C-alpha cells in the first residue's frame, strides 16, 4: 500500500469522523445548554434524539405511501418537525417533572433515567423492537470524488452543513436575542437575574425544550448514518456527556472542540485498531487530559 493510498484512507476516515462529529456536536450542544444553565443531568437526552430519528422515519413512510412525488423534499421539512416534536416533549417533561427537582441533582438524574426507560418502552410499543431506516432522497445518495481514490459521502457533507447551520443559529440566539440575554444572565448569577425581573423558571423551561429540540435535529442527522431503534439513544448519551465534560460545562466553544477531537480520534483509530480498542484509546486520552485539566478544555467562570 502506497503512501498516497494511506493518506486517502486517513482522509476518508476523517470525513467519516465528521459525520460522527456532527451528531455528537448536536447532542452536546443541547446538553451543554441544559447542564450549563440549569445543572440538570438529563439521562433522557438520547431518547429525544430518537424522537427526531423516528420523526424522519414516519415522514419518509407517509411521503412514500401517499405522496411519492414529494420524496426529494420531505427530508428538509421533516428536520423541522423533528425539532418541533422533541421541543414539545421536552417542554412537557420540564413542566411535569424537572421543575420540581431543581437543586436536587441526584433526584434529577434518577427521574430523567426513568423518563428514558419510559420513552424506550413507548418507542418499542409503537414502532417495534427492530431497527428501522427511512428512505433517503436521491440527492443524499452517492459520493463526491475530489481526487482519484478519495470518495466523500454526500450525506456526510449535508449533515456537516446542517450542524454548522444549527450551531451558528444557537450562537446567534445566545448572543443576539432576548432569550440568549436571559440565559447568559441566569448562568452568570441566577439570584441577581431574578432580582432584575427575569423569569428564570420560564427561561429554564424554554432552555430545556430548545436543548431537547436540538437533540431531535441530531436524531434527524443520525438517520443518514445509521438505523434507528428504541435504544439507539442510549448508545450516544455517554459520548454526549463526554463531549460536555471534556469541553467544559456551559462552554459552546469547548463543546465544538471536544466533539471534533473525540469523533476524529475514534473514527481514524477504528481503521487501524478494533472498534473496542479505538474506544479505549479515546477514553484513555480524555481521562488523561481531564486529570491534567479537570475543569475541561474551555471552562467558564460563573457565579451561582
- Residue 149, phi-psi category: left (phi > 0), alpha (psi -120 to 50), beta (remainder): left
Do the beta carbons of residue 32 and residue 244 sit within 8 Å?
yes
- CA atoms in the 13 A half-sphere facing the CB of 12: 18
Rg for the chain, CA atoms, rounded: 20
Average pLDDT over residues 246-265: 79
Give dist(CA 118, CA 48) in Å, integer: 12
Q: Tens digit of pLDDT for each residue in 194-243?
A: 888 888 889 989 999 999 999 999 999 999 888 999 999 888 888 888 88
pLDDT, tens digit (0-9, with 9 covering 90-100), for 121-140:
999 999 999 999 999 998 88
Residue 155 Cα to chain centre, angstroms: 17
Q: What is the pLDDT of residues 149-185, one digit of tens each?
A: 666 778 888 988 999 999 999 989 988 888 889 988 8
Model confidence, pTM: 0.88
For residue 98, give the C-alpha cell.
Answer: 424537572
Q: Are 97 and 263 in contact (CB under 8 A)?
A: no
Give me the mean pLDDT over the 23-36 stretch.
85
* pLDDT, averaged across the chain: 85
Amino acid at each position: 500500500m502506497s503512501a498516497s493510498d494511506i493518506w486517502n484512507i486517513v482522509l476518508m476516515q476523517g470525513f467519516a469522523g465528521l459525520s460522527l462529529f456532527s451528531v455528537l456536536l448536536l447532542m452536546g450542544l443541547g446538553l451543554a445548554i441544559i447542564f450549563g444553565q440549569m445543572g440538570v443531568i438529563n439521562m433522557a437526552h438520547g431518547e429525544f434524539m430518537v424522537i427526531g430519528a423516528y420523526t424522519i422515519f414516519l415522514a419518509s413512510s407517509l411521503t412514500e405511501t401517499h405522496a411519492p412525488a414529494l420524496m426529494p423534499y420531505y427530508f428538509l421539512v421533516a428536520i423541522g418537525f423533528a425539532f418541533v416534536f422533541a421541543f414539545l416533549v421536552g417542554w412537557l417533561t420540564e413542566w411535569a417533572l424537572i421543575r420540581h427537582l431543581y437543586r436536587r441533582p441526584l433526584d434529577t438524574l434518577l427521574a430523567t433515567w426513568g423518563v428514558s426507560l419510559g420513552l424506550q418502552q413507548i418507542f418499542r410499543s409503537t414502532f417495534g423492537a427492530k431497527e428501522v431506516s427511512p428512505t433517503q432522497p436521491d440527492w443524499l445518495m452517492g459520493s463526491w470524488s475530489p481526487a482519484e481514490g478519495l470518495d466523500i459521502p454526500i450525506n456526510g457533507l449535508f449533515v456537516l452543513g446542517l450542524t454548522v447551520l444549527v450551531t451558528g443559529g444557537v450562537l446567534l440566539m445566545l448572543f443576539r436575542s432576548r432569550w440568549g440575554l436571559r440565559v447568559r444572565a441566569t448562568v452568570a448569577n441566577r439570584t441577581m437575574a431574578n432580582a432584575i425581573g427575569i423569569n428564570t423558571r420560564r427561561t429554564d423551561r424554554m432552555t430545556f425544550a430548545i436543548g431537547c429540540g436540538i437533540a431531535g435535529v441530531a436524531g434527524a442527522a443520525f438517520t443518514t448514518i445509521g438505523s434507528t431503534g428504541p435504544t439507539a439513544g442510549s448508545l450516544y448519551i455517554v459520548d454526549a456527556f463526554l463531549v460536555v465534560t471534556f469541553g467544559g460545562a456551559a462552554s459552546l466553544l469547548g463543546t465544538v472542540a471536544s466533539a471534533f477531537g473525540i469523533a476524529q480520534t475514534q473514527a481514524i483509530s477504528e481503521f487501524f485498531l478494533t472498534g473496542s480498542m479505538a474506544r479505549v484509546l479515546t477514553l484513555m486520552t480524555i481521562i488523561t487530559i481531564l486529570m491534567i485539566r479537570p475543569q475541561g478544555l474551555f471552562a467558564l467562570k460563573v457565579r451561582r
